[in-house]
């Protein structure tokens, strides 16, 4: 054992956490090494100085008057008053309730305003068609009708008062629902860019392999000939769902979609190709441990949300490895245990996700809404 290794061991030696044989090894080295003996002495001196530090320190001012003032307004936990909340939280709870009522009233008003039996549609380029009719300038897209663009045409759809959808060339899209509480399109092929400003879960786009649920955001969604496709979010969050499988995609991230499987695992689009390919194989091509190792080796703090999605999608040793890396990137919040996460306890997974989402939003691309280009005036 060399001096560098001994330096580390000296700490454990003095802390009394080495085994008898390890202690003996350290002692043997010390007998023949003056430098390490001096190091031990310095360490002992430091520990002696530390032990002699005063246990108490007096604040520069008396803090009791402030403490007394605060506890005069604070009920002890045993006394509860508002739906089981301590009194000091009651005011907060009432304030929150008032704000919620106001927000609900605002949302109701906005929804009422946005209520239309059809959606307006405008031509951006070429000759888009609504049903069998060519669109020359603006027109109406009624529930059940298809909007189609060829390789040289583009169009824009006004989603009530809550946003716009720009339809790319070679696309086929149908208006499914235009109700107050449900704005729903079906994208059969091609691509669209949606810019929505509304409460979550009011705007949906169905594709053959998954449904995009708007959470107040800007995104681009494409569908290829196979029915698969890709979602790229530039603002806010979008949820992609199919048969109970859900992927939450933040700004700056991409999520692939495959027919017969549904959404893959979302990832930040700036990840290296190795990472993306490994994730794709793991999601859609029966990839396993080799792919997971690439993902774990390439993962950083910003990828915690990607790893979180993989937890229920792998099992056994793979899940344990995944958990280990995740815990390094985002420590577990209080009350959440490794056992709970490994057995996929829903509540614990959600609590950890809340912690991870805070970090994810930090790593997301700048939170500015990119206006749709060449939007027509409807």
Partner 1 sequence: MEIILKEGEQNPGYEWELVRRAQKGDRAAFEEIYRRNAGRVYAVCLRITAHTGKAEELTQDVFVKCWEKLPSFRGESAFFSWLHRLAVNLVLMEQRSQKRRAAKEITTDALEMLEQSEPFNSSIGPFDLEKAIAQLPPQARTIFVLHDVEGYRHGEIAEMLKLSLGTCKAQLFRARKLLKEVLK
Nearer to partner 1, 359 or 375 (CB): 359
* 335 contributes a contact to partner 1 by CB under 8 A: no
Name which position in 177, 320, 328, 374 contacts partner 1 (CB under 8 A): 328
Nearer to partner 1, 153 or 299 (CB): 299
Nearer to partner 1, 124 or 348 (CB): 348
Q: How many residues bind partner 1 (CB under 8 A)?
A: 45
Nearer to partner 1, 26 or 165 (CB): 26
Name which position in 5, 109, 358, 369 contacts partner 1 (CB under 8 A): 358
* 327 contributes a contact to partner 1 by CB under 8 A: yes
Residues numbered 206 to 235 that lie near partner 1 (CB under 8 A) are none
How long, in residues, is the chain?
A: 378
Name which position in 1, 3, 17, 103 contacts partner 1 (CB under 8 A): 17
Tabulate helix, strand, coil % of the chain (nearest 5): 40, 25, 35
* 47 contributes a contact to partner 1 by CB under 8 A: yes
The DSSP-derived string for 62-82 is: --HHHHHHHHHT---TT-EEE
- Give residues with Cβ within 8 angstroms of 233, minimum separation 6: 217, 218, 219, 249, 250, 251, 252, 253, 254
Least CB distance to partner 1 at residue 56 (A): 3
The burial class, CB within 10 Å (0-12 / 13-18 / 19+), for 69 is exposed
168, 154 Cβ separation under 8 angstroms: yes
Least CB distance to partner 1 at residue 27 (A): 20
The dihedral region occupied by 147, where left means phi > 0, alpha psi between -120 and 50, and beta the remainder, is: beta
* 77 contributes a contact to partner 1 by CB under 8 A: yes
* 64 contributes a contact to partner 1 by CB under 8 A: yes
125, 166 Cβ separation under 8 angstroms: no
Retrieve residue 34's tokens: 């003056």
* 359 contributes a contact to partner 1 by CB under 8 A: yes
* 68 contributes a contact to partner 1 by CB under 8 A: yes
257, 229 Cβ separation under 8 angstroms: yes
Phi (first) and psi of residue 30, to 5 degrees: -65, -35
Nearer to partner 1, 226 or 300 (CB): 300
Least CB distance to partner 1 at residue 291 (A): 24
Choose one: 8-16, 102-110, 153-161, 216-224; the region binding partner 1 (CB under 8 A): 8-16
The burial class, CB within 10 Å (0-12 / 13-18 / 19+), for 108 is exposed
Within 10 angstroms of residue 366's Cβ, the number of other Cβ atoms is: 9
Least CB distance to partner 1 at residue 71 (A): 4
* 76 contributes a contact to partner 1 by CB under 8 A: yes
Distance of alpha carbon 67 from alpha carbon 73, whole angstroms: 10
Nearer to partner 1, 203 or 235 (CB): 235
Nearer to partner 1, 21 or 77 (CB): 77
* 45 contributes a contact to partner 1 by CB under 8 A: yes
The burial class, CB within 10 Å (0-12 / 13-18 / 19+), for 203 is buried
Residues numbered 252 to 311 that lie near partner 1 (CB under 8 A) are 300-302
The burial class, CB within 10 Å (0-12 / 13-18 / 19+), for 132 is exposed
The DSSP-derived string for 95-162 is: HHHHHHHHHHHHHHHHHHHH--SEEEEEEEES--EETTEEPSSEEEEETT-EEE--TT-EEEEEETTT
Three-state secondary-structure class, residue 88: helix
Name which position in 331, 344, 367, 368 contacts partner 1 (CB under 8 A): 331
Choose one: 51-59, 157-165, 193-201, 281-289; the region binding partner 1 (CB under 8 A): 51-59
* 34 contributes a contact to partner 1 by CB under 8 A: no
Least CB distance to partner 1 at residue 345 (A): 17
* 360 contributes a contact to partner 1 by CB under 8 A: no
Residues in contact with partner 1 by CB under 8 A are 8, 11-12, 17, 42-43, 45-47, 49-51, 53-61, 63-64, 66-68, 70-72, 74-78, 86, 300-302, 327-328, 331-332, 358-359, 362
């Amino acid at each position: 054992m060399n001096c560098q290794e001994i330096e580390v061991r000296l700490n454990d030696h003095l802390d009394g956490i080495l085994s008898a044989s390890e202690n003996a090894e350290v002692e043997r080295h010390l007998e023949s090494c003056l430098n390490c003996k001096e190091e031990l002495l310095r360490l002992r001196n430091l520990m002696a100085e530390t032990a002699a530090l005063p246990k108490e320190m007096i604040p520069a001012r008396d803090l009791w008057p402030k403490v007394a003032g605060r506890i005069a307004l604070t009920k002890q936990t045993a006394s509860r008053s508002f739906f089981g909340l301590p009194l000091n939280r009651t005011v907060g709870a009432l304030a929150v309730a008032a704000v919620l009522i106001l927000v609900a009233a605002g949302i109701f008003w906005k929804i009422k305003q946005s209520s239309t039996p059809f959606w307006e549609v405008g031509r951006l380029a070429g000759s888009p068609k609504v049903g069998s009719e060519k669109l020359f300038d603006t027109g109406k897209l009624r529930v059940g009708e298809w909007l189609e663009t060829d390789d040289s045409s583009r169009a824009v759809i006004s989603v009530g008062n809550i946003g716009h959808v720009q339809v790319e060339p070679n696309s086929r899209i149908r208006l499914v629902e235009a109700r107050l509480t449900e704005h729903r399109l079906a994208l059969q092929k091609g691509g669209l860019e949606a810019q929505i400003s509304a409460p979550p879960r009011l705007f949906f786009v169905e594709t053959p392999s998954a449904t995009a649920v708007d959470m107040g955001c800007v995104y681009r969604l494409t569908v290829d000939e196979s029915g698969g496709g890709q979602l790229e979010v530039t603002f806010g969050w979008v949820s992609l769902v199919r048969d109970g499988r859900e992927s939450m995609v933040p700004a700056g991230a991409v999520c692939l979609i495959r027919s017969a499987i549904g959404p893959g695992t979302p990832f930040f689009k700036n990840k290296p190709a190795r990472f993306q390919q490994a994730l794709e194989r793991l999601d859609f091509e029966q990839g396993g441990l080799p792919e997971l190792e690439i993902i774990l080796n390439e993962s950083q703090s910003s990828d915690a949300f990607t790893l979180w999605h993989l937890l229920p999608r792998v099992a056994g040793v793979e899940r344990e490895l995944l958990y280990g890396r995740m815990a390094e990137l985002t420590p577990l919040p209080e009350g959440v245990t490794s056992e709970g996460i490994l057995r996929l306890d829903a509540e614990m997974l959600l609590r950890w996700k809340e912690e991870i989402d805070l970090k994810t939003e930090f790593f997301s691309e700048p939170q500015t809404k990119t206006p749709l280009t060449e939007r027509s005036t409807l």
